[in-house]
Chains A and B, each alone.
Chain A
Amino acid sequence: MWRRPFPWFIVAAALVYALYPYFTDDVGLRESLLLAAVYIILASNLNLMIGYAGYVNFGNIVFFGLGGYICLYLVTALHWHVIPAALTGGVAVSALALLFGLGILRLRGAFFALATIGVNQAIQQLVVNFEPWGGATGIYLSLDAYGPLGGPMQALWRTYLMIVAVTAASLLASYAIRHSKFGLGLLAIGQNEDAASVLGVPTPRYKAMVYSASAFLPAIAGGLYFFKSGIIEPSSAFNLQTSIEAIVMVMLGGSGTILGPALGAFLYEELRGFLLTAQSFSQFQLVIAGALLLLIVQFVPGGLLGWVHQRWPRTRRWLE
């Protein structure tokens, strides 16, 4: 993997992304880049499902929310350090996804999509009624929780760096999977699941594995993000709207490509930031997102990068 230039390019880009706001000491820029990084993580991992295996997961945000809850619970109730807490969240959510995946991935197409929404809503309702996690009010962090990271100010910078590291890991994972036997099997499933099975691809196992893999890093990101926010509540943790926005990001940038979803997420975040500041219309970005999705599906199903690859086939060699 490390003999190709692409992974090094990812690492270099992540370093610039991480250090630029640090050295310019621009807190506003950091906050905006942090949100973009979270979106890149969500979109990039969702792409493993949509772009590689061809399964649209509408409830992808459940991984993020559940990871956040587990991390914050461990930090507040058991006084864990945030890093092991977030990692534990990742492992636990990933294991849970593996179990769920073996069940709901028997469904296909629209039925699978509906089931994923069901999973998100069911977990949200469970959490609302789960007192140890604060029920409907959620979990708050006291300022003491930031002590181990050198106080609140330092903690914000450090969680930013950690989230960028998770972003880089997401892209590297996308790359590694794309260039593995596992990835080839997933692509075959995405193209024609029945044919893939006849060719010998163990479809149930691979689908459950990719569902589980696509849960791991978003769950860690959820832990870090809500740790940074200092508060988690069911409505923000399991926000179906963010799930759907993540699908738009994947489609916008180019599903099935490695950099496409990241590009789509970054552009979408910029657009969102711009539209949110326009006060005349609340949630105007959703109108744009809907229109965008229609246009993409109709005219450029490959998204931005898909279009570039089609127009200049040579770029595929460099960017994939």
Chain B
Amino acid sequence: MSALLEVNNISKRFGGLQAVDRLSLTVNEGEILGLIGPNGAGKSTVFNLINGVYPPDGGSIVFAGQDITGGPPYRVARQGIARAHQIVQPLGGLSVLDNCTVGACFGRQGLGLVPARKVAREVVDMIGLGDRPDMLAASLTTAGKKRLELARALSARPRLLLLDEVLAGLNPTETGGMIETVHKIRDSGVAILMIEHIMRAVMSLSDRIVVLNLGSKLAEGSPQQVADNPDVITAYLGDSKLLSVAEKPA
């Protein structure tokens, strides 16, 4: 497998907070890389650095052989990276179909209006919004808006998809449907970098997992390796020695 995205030693500081500290990671063609870590570990900041919302203080980001460090976001999108936000960002006054048409018009392929609408139509059907293409995005349910985020990102026909907690806030049935959709997307050849808190989902979906804590990489490996790593357990649950002490009767 060849590397599609190479993140080398990026750092970002916000005032007194070192949000990301010399982080490196690689996403290969066609794989799903899970990015996990406790709240505040810097996961969303990593996404913002990759797609150019903020420039990193140091380090470089190379995508498909091109240096994309520092954005701006629309240039990164054009290169073939699309993103579904954690906090949904629908273009509320536009219809579902128009939202996706924006993605197709200004994404990697930069299509004209007519072919873009056709692509948008296909994606809307595939993502399960095909029954309400003319609905205003603002009037969708939360689950609908999450799907729209995904549909809009896919309409760009990206090579790499950044998924920021697309499962958060969904009920179990909706989660199941979304996991299936993510599988479908990977099978179509799109590489995925996903932030996710629902462990069952991230363990079953990811090929590899990177664990982030306090802005730097704590562990990396297959889902099983990561789950067995004592440092990871400590970061999530507290000191494992303390846990075992507490379990033993004094």
Q: Is A bound to B?
A: yes
Q: Which residues of A contact B152 (CB under 8 A)?
A: 199
With the chains together, A196 CA to B53 CA distance in Å? Answer: 12
Can you offer 11 A-B residue contacts whose CB atoms are under 8 A? A181-B113, A184-B102, A185-B106, A187-B94, A188-B102, A191-B91, A194-B89, A198-B73, A198-B74, A200-B106, A202-B75
In the complex, chain A residues 60-83 whose Cβ is within 8 Å of any chain B Cβ: none
* Cβ–Cβ contact A200 & B89, under 8 A: no
In the complex, chain A residues 229-264 whose Cβ is within 8 Å of any chain B Cβ: 256
* Cβ–Cβ contact A203 & B74, under 8 A: yes
* Cβ–Cβ contact B101 & A184, under 8 A: yes
Q: Which residues of A contact B94 (CB under 8 A)?
A: 187-188, 191
Query: Known contacts A181-B112, A188-B102, A191-B94; is A202 also within 8 Å of B74 by CB?
Result: yes
A181-B105, A202-B106 known, 8 other contacts, Cβ within 8 Å = A181-B113, A192-B89, A194-B73, A198-B73, A199-B152, A200-B105, A202-B75, A256-B93
* Cβ–Cβ contact A197 & B91, under 8 A: no
Q: Mark B91-117, 1 if CB is under 8 A from A, else 0.
A: 111100010011101110010110010
CB-nearest residue of chain B to A194: B89
* Cβ–Cβ contact B51 & A185, under 8 A: no
Whole-angstrom distance between the Cβ of B156 and the nearest chain A Cβ: 6
Segment touching A, from B20-28, B77-85, B182-190, B216-224: B77-85
Whole-angstrom distance between the Cβ of A301 and the nearest chain B Cβ: 11
* Cβ–Cβ contact B92 & A200, under 8 A: no
In the complex, chain B residues 65-80 whose Cβ is within 8 Å of any chain A Cβ: 72-75, 77-78
Q: A201 an interface residue at 8 Å Cβ cutoff?
A: yes
* Cβ–Cβ contact A191 & B93, under 8 A: yes
CB-nearest residue of chain A to B162: A198
* Cβ–Cβ contact B85 & A195, under 8 A: yes
With the chains together, A191 CA to B53 CA distance in Å? Answer: 18
CB-nearest residue of chain A to B109: A200
CB-nearest residue of chain B to A187: B94
Q: A180 an interface residue at 8 Å Cβ cutoff?
A: yes
With the chains together, A34 CA to B74 CA distance in Å? Answer: 43
Whole-angstrom distance between the Cβ of A177 and the nearest chain B Cβ: 12
Whole-angstrom distance between the Cβ of B70 and the nearest chain A Cβ: 14
Q: Which residues of A contact B93 (CB under 8 A)?
A: 187, 190-191, 256
* Cβ–Cβ contact A187 & B91, under 8 A: yes
Interface residues of B (CB under 8 A from A): 51, 53, 72-75, 77-78, 82-83, 85, 89-94, 98, 101-103, 105-107, 110, 112-113, 116, 152, 156
* Residue among B51, B53, B85, B102 with the highest chain A CB neighbour number at 10 A: B102
* Cβ–Cβ contact A200 & B77, under 8 A: yes
- B107: contacting residue among A180, A194, A200, A203, CB under 8 A: A200
CB-nearest residue of chain B to A188: B102
Whole-angstrom distance between the Cβ of B27 and the nearest chain A Cβ: 18
* Cβ–Cβ contact A191 & B74, under 8 A: no
* Cβ–Cβ contact A184 & B74, under 8 A: no
Query: Known contacts A196-B91, A201-B102; is A180 also within 8 Å of B74 by CB?
Result: no
In the complex, chain A residues 161-219 whose Cβ is within 8 Å of any chain B Cβ: 179-181, 184-185, 187-188, 190-192, 194-203
* Cβ–Cβ contact B112 & A201, under 8 A: no
Query: Known contacts A196-B91, A198-B73, A198-B83; is A184 also within 8 Å of B113 by CB?
Result: yes
With the chains together, A190 CA to B92 CA distance in Å? Answer: 10
Query: Known contacts A192-B91, A194-B89, A195-B85; is A180 also within 8 Å of B73 by CB?
Result: no
Q: Which residues of A contact B75 (CB under 8 A)?
A: 202
With the chains together, A134 CA to B114 CA distance in Å? Answer: 52
* Cβ–Cβ contact B105 & A195, under 8 A: no
Q: Which residues of B contact A199 (CB under 8 A)?
A: 74, 77, 82, 102-103, 106-107, 152, 156
Q: Which residues of B contact A179 (CB under 8 A)?
A: 113
Q: Which residues of B contact A181 (CB under 8 A)?
A: 105, 112-113, 116
With the chains together, A180 CA to B85 CA distance in Å? Answer: 27
Q: Which residues of A contact B116 (CB under 8 A)?
A: 181
With the chains together, A16 CA to B133 CA distance in Å? Answer: 39
Q: Which residues of B contact A191 (CB under 8 A)?
A: 91-94
CB-nearest residue of chain B to A183: B113
Q: Which residues of B contact A196 (CB under 8 A)?
A: 91, 102
Q: Which residues of B contact A195 (CB under 8 A)?
A: 85, 89-91
Q: Which residues of A contact B103 (CB under 8 A)?
A: 199-200
CB-nearest residue of chain B to A201: B106
With the chains together, A185 CA to B94 CA distance in Å? Answer: 11
CB-nearest residue of chain B to A191: B91
With the chains together, A191 CA to B102 CA distance in Å? Answer: 12
